[in-house]
Amino acid sequence: MNKWIRFPRVEGKTSRQAHADFPANTFEREMGKEGFFGPCTHFYHSHPPTGWSQFTGPLRPHAFDSTKLQHSGDSPWDQKPLLRNENSLVGLWICREPMDHLIRNADGDQLLFVHNGSGKLFCDFGRLSIRDGDYILLPRGTMWRLSPTENEPLELLLIEASGGHFQLPEKGILGPNAIFDEAILDVPSIDEAFLAQQGDTQWQVVVKARQQLSKITYPFNPLDATGWTGDNLAVRINWRDIRPVMSHRYHLPPSAHTTFVGPGFVVATFVPRPIESDPGALKVPFFHSNDDYDELIFYHRGNFFSRDNIHPGMLTLHPMGFTHGPHPKAFATGVKHARKATDEVAVMIDSRTPWDILPDAEAIEFEDYVNSWKTPQ
């Protein structure tokens, strides 16, 4: 049981409320524990906490441009792995042709996010139509394959809950229907198209276990279920189904947008929403020293309102211990309240365990990203 030292004190000139009505000519910085859930202190600085003139060493932030990746292979196991730790594996893959085999992940639950394209998913549970913006959660052990729509390759972000499972976040006082109603989760159907693909044709299943691949050959299609009952399910939700929590007077932390919870990490979804309208409320993400989580964001659509020079398909990684916040131009836009709503769609993954950056990510890194916070002269 945690017994934090929690007796708030005030020293010097501060705001009465975090993220609102700052003292004149100050910049707020949050230093907290356990992401945005533990004790925290807010400092009010005379200069932007990211106003460095030089930054060297391994703590620097990273940006990766996935549009520069050269994909090959006909299986999700041919993915380009970007980040890995003991709890998760994050990768990218493009499915251009209908898969001629099935795969099964025995290492953990698999979460797919469809960046571009459309098609069909065939799995143990049946058939499911999928499109851009879909999350598809496949429980550990599910057999599945993809069939993209002609001329619409499926570009996928793959997130593995290594050795664990995905769950839904606790919504507390918001109630069970907040953000999205669980009834909105779609499940595959055992329909005519699913039954039609069954038969005595030879199929292979490529299984990943302990990060190694095994091939199992059947003289029939093992997706031969005629029915099922239970609550260990493959499910789908699209970002368009998410109704974000908002406050017109207070900028909510990114944890308020959590969509799935994995072992030692969370997956959150940023979707279009009105920007805070109260004159004194902060209108961009606050500067913060998140010392307990690595923060990864995959940019799917729109203009990310706290970043400059970021386009869809890019990823940014802010390692734990790196003080960060909005870029200077984005902060200035927020001060002017020049925008009334965001148009961004992005997937954020926050990990309690640091990630190792893998060679495929290093090959597409934008090395000058750390300098994007420098105050324009």
Q: What is the pLDDT of residue 44?
A: 96
The mean pLDDT of 278-293, rounded to a whole number, is: 89
The mean pLDDT of 107-124, rounded to a whole number, is: 98
57 with 86, same domain? no
Q: What is the pLDDT of residue 304?
A: 81
The mean pLDDT of 153-176, rounded to a whole number, is: 96
* Global pTM value: 0.95
> For the chain, what is the mean pLDDT?
94
**Is residue 328 helix, strand or coil?**
helix
| pLDDT confidence tier of residue 337, bands split at 50, 70 and 90 | confident
Domain assignment of residue 73, yes or no: no
Instruction: Choose among 323, 326, 349: nearest CA to 336.
Output: 326
235 with 259, same domain? no
**All residues at 6 or more sequence positions from 321 whose CB lies less than 8 Å from its CB, including other chains:** 59, 289, 291
94 with 203, same domain? yes
254 with 362, same domain? yes
86 with 209, same domain? yes
Domain assignment of residue 362, yes or no: yes
CB 99 within 8 A of CB 154: no
The mean pLDDT of 249-258, rounded to a whole number, is: 92
The mean pLDDT of 246-255, rounded to a whole number, is: 91
The mean pLDDT of 132-137, rounded to a whole number, is: 98
Domain assignment of residue 16, yes or no: no
| pLDDT confidence tier of residue 115, bands split at 50, 70 and 90 | very high
> Could you give the number of structural domains in the chain?
2
| pLDDT confidence tier of residue 376, bands split at 50, 70 and 90 | low
Domain assignment of residue 1, yes or no: no
233 with 255, same domain? no
- Of 203, 222, 239, the position where a domain reaches its end is 239
165 with 114, same domain? yes
226 with 89, same domain? yes
With 60 as the cut, is the pLDDT of residue 377 above it?
Answer: no
| pLDDT confidence tier of residue 35, bands split at 50, 70 and 90 | confident
Domain assignment of residue 269, yes or no: yes
Q: Which domain holds residue 41?
A: 27-64+243-373
| CATH number, domain containing residue 106 | 2.60.120.10
**Residue 11: C-alpha distances to residues 39, 192, 264, 280 (Å):** 17, 69, 35, 21
Q: Tokens 């809950």 — which residue? A: 161
| pLDDT confidence tier of residue 36, bands split at 50, 70 and 90 | confident
Cα dihedral 102, 104, 109, 111, rounded to 10, equals -20
111 with 196, same domain? yes
89 with 235, same domain? yes
| Residue ranges with strand state E in 126-228 | 126-131, 134-138, 143-148, 154-162, 203-209, 212-218
Percent of the chain whose pLDDT exceeds 90: 84
Domain assignment of residue 332, yes or no: yes
- Of 239, 262, 291, the position where a domain reaches its end is 239
Domain assignment of residue 20, yes or no: no
90 with 154, same domain? yes
Q: What is the pLDDT of residue 1?
A: 66
The mean pLDDT of 273-287, rounded to a whole number, is: 91
> pLDDT tens digits for 86-98?
999 999 999 999 9
Percent of the chain whose pLDDT exceeds 70: 98
Looking at the DSSP bridge assignments, the partners of residue 83 are: 90, 357
With 70 as the cut, is the pLDDT of residue 312 above it?
Answer: yes
120 with 208, same domain? yes
- Higher local confidence (pLDDT), 67 or 373: 67
Q: What is the DSSP letter of 32?
A: E
| pLDDT confidence tier of residue 140, bands split at 50, 70 and 90 | very high
- Of 239, 274, 305, the position where a domain reaches its end is 239
Q: Tokens 């729509």 — which residue? A: 149
What is the number of other CB atoms lying within 10 angstroms of the CB of residue 230? Answer: 6
Q: What is the pLDDT of residue 328?
A: 81
